[in-house]
């Protein structure tokens, strides 16, 4: 999916919501545990319930990998079930040296090899250029590079200040623009404070940002939207638990739809207000 | 495997060689392609041929993940085939926020969940403390944290100097010692120059270092050994291509054994010379 196709979807659905499929067997409704593949069955119903309100789906690969080959099959079925018009993100946070990153790229982009073909994959920047570019070699695919994450530990290294007077995550935002453009690179930015988002937008004005941490993890959607939206929206805001675990009963899909719609309606307002006309 | 058990193995085999099982279907001998699971068949013969010379095996997970569920099965069979007295490393370079890293830990440490139980897993440090500690919660298991990698891109961020007058990889070596001790933490250090290894040993005198980049990637085993060996050896030196692809013919296992033995004999010398008595 190209940048303009993604923007088109956002306008059509009036939403920049990404639903995180962090599907935990211990948290899904009990009545699903009798089905053949409870994780896929849960995802299927969540996708059906939310697809009119969401432009993107993001399975976190850890939740599938924890079950080995079987989990990998649930992931494959899930990906195939996501409608074509939705942007798909393999939240894998991979990264390895050159030829090896190429293999990870095949794992997530090359259906003939792995059975999976996502639109994008999250990548960790620590190993530098040659760990990222093999993913960019896949035409029409995206790298979503970790810049500023939303967890407590992010301060340990990402906020270290370098002798260039930049924080490490700012070095990542700057340096990586030499490797790819805003048609193939997005950034994970767990920034929910206005001033931080403003300064990030100065470094990457054109790029899409994937923002976690709105919803169950806290963070204000209004602030993110006000300071993050650019001329083609430029935001994908993820919500996982607040939507997919809105209810632990048999009505989980219905409640997920309700929560997703609530977010979509809020986003519609922000698009009207903050998208440049 | 505990630190002292690993040292015992090193003394017994007079080797600190780790064989990297970076098994690429396009590089393995053609006659194996007719077998049911060529990747496993190759690994099996490599393991048989090298196990008396190697103390550790390190499958790089990308090579298996590229084949989806099927690759995961080859990995599982490979791991089960590695003798009990060898240290096993899942070279996965994972890292995610707290609860999600816990799931990655289950993927590689919890056989009941994923079918896999490695002794250790490589972890990327970018996301900080809470991305690493969930792996450390597994009793008797090891985290091998990326510090200084051996690829060209490592300079992009790992060598940035912070306002603490430390390079980023030195910040990683220092900070992470607050999270675990040398009985549960090792470091990936792609340092093959004497002065660099000396300065690294000042920061982490007690830890095991996993050193890639000796063999096909260049790097002097003697320098690494001279400046890296500590009182319990403290080194695992990886070689992948130079051993496993020593021949592309039907004699690949025999040639792999020959190369592994050559390295082991060199290591025996260095242990005699540099291990404190």
Instruction: Summarize pLDDT for A40-75 with one digit per residue, the tens.
Output: 999 999 999 999 999 999 999 999 999 999 999 999
Cα–Cα dist A216/A245, whole Å? 10
Report pLDDT digits (tens) over A154-196: 999 999 999 999 999 999 999 999 999 999 999 999 877 778 8
Burial class of residue B196 in the structure, from the number of CB atoms within 10 Å of its CB (0-12 exposed, 13-18 middle, 19+ buried): middle
Query: Which pLDDT value is given to residue B215?
Result: 59
Q: What's the CATH fold of domain B3-274? A: TIM Barrel (3.20.20)
Which of B44, B77, B93, B166 is the catalytic position?
A: B93
A-chain residues near B157 (CB < 8 A): 125-126, 128, 168, 171-172, 175
pLDDT at B214: 72
Determine the residue among A26, A37, A68 to mutate to test chain B binding: the one whose Cβ has the most chain B Cβ atoms within 10 Å. A68
Closest Cβ–Cβ partner in B66, B113, B153 for A114 = B66
Residues of chain B with C-beta less than 8 angstroms from the C-beta of A168? 157, 160, 168
How would you classify the pairing of strands A185-189 and B120-123?
Answer: unpaired
Residues of B in contact with A76 (CB under 8 A): 68-69
With cut-offs at 50, 70 and 90, classify the pLDDT of residue A216: low
Sites in chain B below the pLDDT cut of 50: none
Average pLDDT of the residues in A237-246: 95
Phi, psi of B89 (to 5 degrees): -125, 120
Q: Is A277 exposed, middle or buried (0-12, 13-18, 19+ CB in 10 A)?
A: exposed
At B28-39, the pLDDT tens digits run 999 999 999 999
Q: What's the DSSP call for residue B275?
A: S
pLDDT tens across B216-256, in order?
A: 555 689 999 999 999 999 999 999 999 999 999 999 999 99
A130: nearest CA in chain B?
A: B153
| Whole-number Å distance between alpha carbons of A21 and A13 | 20
Do B160 and A154 lie within an 8 Å CB cutoff?
A: no
What Å distances lie between residue A248 and A24, A26, A101, B40, B160, CA to CA?
A: 12, 10, 38, 42, 47
Query: What's the rounded Cα separation, in Å, for the pair A100 and A102?
Result: 5
Q: Do B172 and A157 touch (CB under 8 A)?
A: yes
Domain boundaries, chain A: 3-274
Instruction: Give A107 to chain B, closest Cα distance, Å.
Output: 4
| Nearest CA distance, A212 vs chain B (angstrom) | 11
Q: Closest partner residue to B126 among A70, A157, A161, by Cβ?
A: A157
Chain B residues near residue A70 by CB distance under 8 angstroms: 69
Beta strands in chain A (DSSP E): 17-21, 56-59, 87-94, 120-123, 142-148, 185-189, 208-211, 235-239
The pair of three-digit structure tokens given for residue A154, joined into one six-digit string:
């992010």
Subunit contact A97:B149, Cβ cutoff 8 A: yes
Which of A64, A67, A69 to mutate against chain B (most B CBs within 10 Å)?
A69
What is the pLDDT, as a whole number, of residue A98?
Answer: 82
Identity of the residue in B71, B125, B160 whose CB atom sits nearest the CB atom of A171: B160
How large a percentage of chain A has pLDDT more than 90?
92
Residue length of chain B: 277
* Mean pLDDT score across all residues of chain A: 95
Positions of A marked active-site: 93
For residue A217, is pLDDT > 70?
Answer: no
The continuous run of DSSP H or E covering B122 comes out as strand B120-123
Please give the Cα distance from B56 to B47 (Å, whole number): 10
Residue of B nearest to A98 (CA): B151
Q: What does A176-228 look like in DSSP terms, one character per residue?
A: GGGT--TTTEEEEE---SHHHHHHHHHH-SSSEEEE--SSTT---HHHHHHHH
Are A103 and B66 in contact (CB < 8 Å)?
yes
CB pairs under 8 A between A and B: 197
What band does A215 get if pLDDT is binned at 50, 70 and 90?
Answer: low
- Report chain B residues whose CB lies below 8 A from the CB of A129: 152-153, 156
| B29: three-class secondary structure by DSSP | coil
Q: Which residue out of B76, B89, B93, B158 would a mutagenesis test of the A interface target, given it has the greatest number of A Cβ atoms within 10 Å?
A: B93
| Among A127, A177, A240, the residue to mutate for chain B (most B Cβ within 10 A) | A127
Verify whether the Cβ–Cβ distance A107 to B72 is below 8 Å: no
pLDDT of residue A219 exceeding 70: no
The ipTM is: 0.95
Q: Does residue B226 carry a catalytic annotation?
A: no
CB-nearest to A149 from B110, B127, B152 is B127
**Pick from A221, A259, A254: nearest CA to A237:** A221
Taking an 8 Å cut-off on Cβ atoms, the answer to whether B98 and A151 are in contact is: yes
In this model, does residue A82 exceed pLDDT 70? yes
Place of tokens 């692809």: B245
């Amino acid at each position: 999916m190209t940048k303009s196709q993604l923007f088109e979807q956002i306008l059509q659905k009036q939403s920049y919501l990404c639903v995180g499929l962090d599907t935990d067997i211990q948290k899904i409704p009990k009545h699903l545990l009798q089905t053949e593949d409870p994780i896929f069955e849960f995802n299927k119903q969540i996708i059906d319930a939310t697809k009119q309100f969401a432009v993107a789906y993001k399975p976190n690969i850890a939740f599938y990998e924890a079950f080995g080959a079987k989990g990998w099959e649930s992931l494959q079925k899930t990906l195939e079930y996501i409608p074509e018009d939705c942007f798909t993100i393999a939240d894998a946070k991979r990264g390895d040296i050159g030829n090896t990153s190429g293999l990870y790229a095949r794992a997530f982009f090359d259906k003939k090899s792995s059975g999976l073909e996502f639109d994008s994959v999250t990548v960790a920047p620590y190993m530098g250029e040659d760990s990222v570019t093999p993913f960019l070699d896949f035409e029409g695919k995206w790298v979503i590079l970790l810049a500023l994450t939303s967890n407590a530990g992010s301060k340990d290294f990402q906020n270290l200040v370098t002798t260039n007077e930049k924080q490490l995550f700012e070095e990542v935002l700057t340096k990586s623009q030499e490797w790819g453009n805003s048609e193939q690179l997005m950034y994970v930015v767990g920034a929910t404070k206005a001033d931080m988002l403003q300064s990030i937008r100065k470094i990457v004005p054109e790029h899409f940002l994937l923002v976690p941490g709105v919803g169950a993890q806290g963070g204000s959607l209004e602030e993110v939207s006000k300071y993050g939206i650019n001329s083609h929206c430029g935001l994908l805001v993820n919500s996982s638990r607040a939507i997919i675990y809105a209810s632990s009963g048999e009505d989980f899909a219905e409640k997920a739809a309700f929560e997703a719609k609530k977010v979509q309606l809020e986003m519609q307002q922000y698009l009207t207000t903050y998208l440049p006309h």
